[in-house]
Chains A and B, each alone.
Chain A
Amino acid sequence: MLSKRIIPCLDVRDGKLTKGIKFKGNVDIGDPVEVAREYYEQGADEIVFYDITASSDKRDILIDVVRRVAETIFIPFSVGGGIRNLEDMRRVILAGAEKVSVNSAAVDNPKIITQGANAFGSQCIVLGMDVKKVEVSGKTPSGYEIVIHGGRIFTGIDALWWAKEAEKLGAGEICLNSIDADGMQTGYELNLTKMISENVCIPVIASGGAGKPEHLAEVLTEGKADAALIASMVHYRTYTITEIKQFLSEKQIKTRMLW
């Protein structure tokens, strides 16, 4: 039977690993290539890189990071942040990434999902969704709204509708990030994760809020997530991925235990 995946997320800014809270106040915490290698050794099942570099002219630094990571780790990894067209996708895939994650660009131009899926296969295209809890209204019946551009712009798009739409357009996976929970380390948004996961047929990665192994156990069972993204709890060395997997194993949650 398929194992649940534990996926560390590395926010990269100007070629350095960084972490903020609710998308703000980022501090640099190391070299992404070295940290990726360390997580690979600890048993990470996949790695996500998110480029939060503000200026697009520094893009080549990211491509170099992707290439160096691909030479060091032999598990899948995906790259997101600032991917706007097929050419951007092609560059990171050729540099060695298995998957690309589209977020704001897919909201601006949903066709990019279909184009990417046709060119590289659905399994390659991850829809990144940044979501904020809002009042239930005619526009947002699920009570969650899509926000873009690093959490700055509310789109008026209902999160559940968008998840289903992206699946129809050809996305192979959804990385669902709760901005309310991001960096708080108080647990994932379980209701949101469960709602999205039960309403699409593609895998859902829960993101935002992991602070202790119990949080992962919750989101992988109650939250129905297929995978859990983690950041702060491993970046600050509070836990190792190995420790998290041991905890999940004790809770009878199946993860890959041999690497």
Chain B
Amino acid sequence: MIAIINYNAGNITSVARALQNIGKKYIITDDTKKLDDASRIIFPGVGAAGEAMAYLRQKNLDTWLKTYIKTGKPLLGICLGTQIILDYSEENKTECIGLVAGSTKRFPEKLISEGQALKIPHMGWNSVKLYRSHPVFNNVSPDAEFYFVHSYHPAPSDDAVVLGTTDYGMTFCSVLAKDNLVAMQFHPEKSGRPGLQILKNFCAWRGKV
């Protein structure tokens, strides 16, 4: 059973509908007892780091995730769910879960590309350059684009966990992967067919590269 962690952060319904579309059964819960029974976890999220962490702590989900990740079962982070698995987020100056070393940083004020000031949030379709193959990106074209909407980006301290990067006036880590964890800044549930393919792959993945 796939479990989507519900922590009052945004796009849970979109992720659920995408899973429905690819014919996967799931539960949505914030109950650690029910989460214990899950074979894989999706950790989505839209919103602000401060509030999200406060809710996760209140429900003991931060500690639960640290234990879960050691079981070797797969974990998928999406958007805010990716940002807060790092140690720290500049958003609301928040101490985060710390499954991966590093922090989440705000885009610099003045991002310039080809003489034009870039807008923040980074909103819209952009591509991802993968540094190695990963089962979760099987059958996804390197030319595919994904839907991003964010003002902060992951900045892991160890380059070895960077699976993919995206260019937006600078190069930032848009996909990180470490053992049974894969986490992306973009929204696969809103990225058309390539996004649905990623979710399908994740649902079949055993957590090993």
For A5, the chain B residues whose CB sits under 8 A away are: 124-125
* Per-position binary interface string of chain B over residues 122-142, scored 1 when its CB falls under 8 Å from any chain A CB and 0 otherwise: 111110000000000000010
When the two chains form their complex, are residues A96 and B13 in contact, meaning their CB atoms are under 8 A apart? yes
When the two chains form their complex, are residues B124 and A75 in contact, meaning their CB atoms are under 8 A apart? no
| B20 is an interface residue with CB less than 8 A from chain A | yes
Stretch among A129-137, A138-146, A251-259 lining the B interface: A251-259
A contact residues, range:
20 to 34
Q: Please tell me which one of the listed residues A74, A120, A123, A259 contacts residue B149 in the complex, with CB atoms under 8 A apart.
A: A123
Stretch among B61-69, B98-106, B112-120 lining the A interface: B112-120
When the two chains form their complex, are residues B121 and A123 in contact, meaning their CB atoms are under 8 A apart? yes
| B24 is an interface residue with CB less than 8 A from chain A | no
* Per-position binary interface string of chain B over residues 83-117, scored 1 when its CB falls under 8 Å from any chain A CB and 0 otherwise: 00000000000000000000000000000010001
Distance in angstroms from B161 CB to nearest chain A CB is: 24
For A258, the chain B residues whose CB sits under 8 A away are: 141, 143-145, 194
When the two chains form their complex, are residues A1 and B196 in contact, meaning their CB atoms are under 8 A apart? no
B contact residues, range:
35 or more
When the two chains form their complex, are residues A121 and B10 in contact, meaning their CB atoms are under 8 A apart? yes
When the two chains form their complex, are residues A227 and B189 in contact, meaning their CB atoms are under 8 A apart? no
For A70, the chain B residues whose CB sits under 8 A away are: 13-14, 17
Main DSSP-derived SS at the A contact region: loop
Give chain A's interface residues, CB within 8 Å of chain B: 1-5, 40, 45, 70-71, 74-76, 94, 96, 98, 120-124, 172-173, 201-203, 226-227, 256-259
Number of A-B contacts (CB under 8 A): 95
Q: Please tell me which one of the listed residues A74, A75, A172 contacts residue B123 in the complex, with CB atoms under 8 A apart.
A: A172
| B53 is an interface residue with CB less than 8 A from chain A | no
When the two chains form their complex, are residues A2 and B14 in contact, meaning their CB atoms are under 8 A apart? no
Closest residue on chain B to residue A119 by CB atoms: B47
18 A-B residue pairings within 8 Å (CB atoms): A2-B124, A4-B124, A40-B192, A70-B17, A74-B17, A74-B18, A74-B189, A74-B190, A74-B192, A76-B190, A96-B13, A120-B10, A121-B47, A123-B123, A201-B117, A256-B145, A258-B143, A258-B145
Closest residue on chain B to residue A95 by CB atoms: B13
Closest residue on chain B to residue A73 by CB atoms: B192
Q: Please tell me which one of the listed residues B48, B167, B192, B195 contacts residue A1 in the complex, with CB atoms under 8 A apart.
A: B167
